[in-house]
A and B are shown apart, each in its own frame.
Chain A
Amino acid sequence: MGKERAHLSFDDDFDVSEFQPAKKEGQGEVDKKTIEKVAEESGFISRVNKTRRRKRQQSPFKNQLNLKCRDNMKELFQDIGEYLEVRDHTTFERAILALLEKEGTTDLLQKYRDITK
């Protein structure tokens, strides 16, 4: 009995010399959509979230103005808005603009334009 165990023989070794780095010719552009379609039909789905969350634009109408008014004035104001098919804040701004234009107050009119631009 020898002191060393027998080593395994790898005489059936394989040859990899024929495989060399090379850019494969003729692969062309893989039709990504075709692959995706086949993959999805086979239950293989994309992990990339393709739906982008739309960022809601912040409203410029952030400040509140409380006014005291006569009876039925509030309803009249709202009726104007309904007639113009706009919301209350737009009715209010259009009323301010009309007043400034009527009075011809240039500096205040400019201030209005700066605020609303």
Chain B
Amino acid sequence: MPVIVFASSKGGAGKTTAAIVLASELARHNTSVTLIDVDPNQHSAKWAQKEGRPSNIQLVEKSTEETIIDDIDNAQAKTAFVLVDLEGTASMAVASAISRADLVITLCQGSQDDADEAVKTIKLINRQGKVLNRTIPFSVLMTRTNPAITPRTLKHIMSELEAAGVDIFKTSLIDREAFRAIRSFGGTVNDLDIKQVSGIEKAAANAHALAAEVIAKIKETNEVRSESHG
């Protein structure tokens, strides 16, 4: 029943790709997932409506800032995981979803604008945690990275985040054609045709690594919670 929220107040940071990739990878592990699309552009919903969506991924489309809390609560009772794909703006829907999150994944590309918006989201998470009197776990996921090189700007951003004590995923979501292809063909990375798309295995490994790290973070948080309660 963990609620995983993908948040960044900047568009194009990779929220939808990350949400779809994680949902697909979790589904591959025979668990049930609800994917809630709160973005008015409904990009996750468009993917989910294409052929090939795993049957254990349920879609909740057209969620809004007024319905998001109820949508999350209902989904938690139905599926093991709830993934929330938010719009890329600083909206109230982001705040509402974060209030219910077990893990907020803040997406960030290797640009200063993305980093500034990620910091804005992190500040909101911390403030909400204080007023809700609970720790809202969050981690920054670097997206659209190059597997071969780490540009200086990206290095600078990561060092700034680390210096501020911000948790960063060891896995980054690499810029791969396979991740773009699933948005076009539908289905998951593992379903892609090797003749049509290159780098499928590497993309699948990337998706697996991301999901493994997400699960590890959630388990770690749960352990800390149970220790503090026990």
Q: Is the interface of B mostly helix, strand, loop or mixed?
A: helix
A22 x B76 contact (CB < 8 A): yes
Size class of the contact patch on chain A? 20 to 34
Give A66-81 interface residues, CB cut-off 8 Å to B: none
- Decide yes or no: A44 and B81 within 8 Å by CB, A19-B1, A35-B128 being known contacts: no
Asked whether any CB of chain A lies closer than 8 Å to the CB of B152, the reply is: no
**What is the CA–CA distance of A43 and B127 in the complex, to the nearest angstrom?**
12
With both chains docked as a complex, state the minimum distance between the C-beta of A74 and any C-beta of chain B, in angstroms.
57
Give B1-33 interface residues, CB cut-off 8 Å to A: 1-2, 9, 26, 29-32
Asked whether any CB of chain B lies closer than 8 Å to the CB of A57, the reply is: no
| Interface residues of B, count at CB 8 A | 46
A14 in complex: contacting residue of B9, B77, B89, B216, CB < 8 Å: B216
A20 in complex: contacting residue of B9, B29, B80, B211, CB < 8 Å: B80
Asked whether any CB of chain B lies closer than 8 Å to the CB of A108, the reply is: no
**What is the CA–CA distance of A32 and B97 in the complex, to the nearest angstrom?**
11
Asked whether any CB of chain A lies closer than 8 Å to the CB of B145, the reply is: no
| Chain B residues within an 8 Å CB radius of A7 | 201
Q: Is the interface of A mostly helix, strand, loop or mixed?
A: loop
- Decide yes or no: A42 and B127 within 8 Å by CB, A16-B80, A21-B80, A47-B65 being known contacts: yes
7 contacts between A and B (CB under 8 A): A12-B212, A16-B80, A21-B1, A21-B32, A30-B96, A35-B92, A46-B65
Q: What is the interface of chain B, defined by CB distance below 8 A to chain A?
A: 1-2, 9, 26, 29-32, 64-66, 69, 73, 76-81, 89-96, 99-100, 120, 123-124, 127-128, 131-132, 201, 204-205, 208, 211-212, 215-216, 218-219
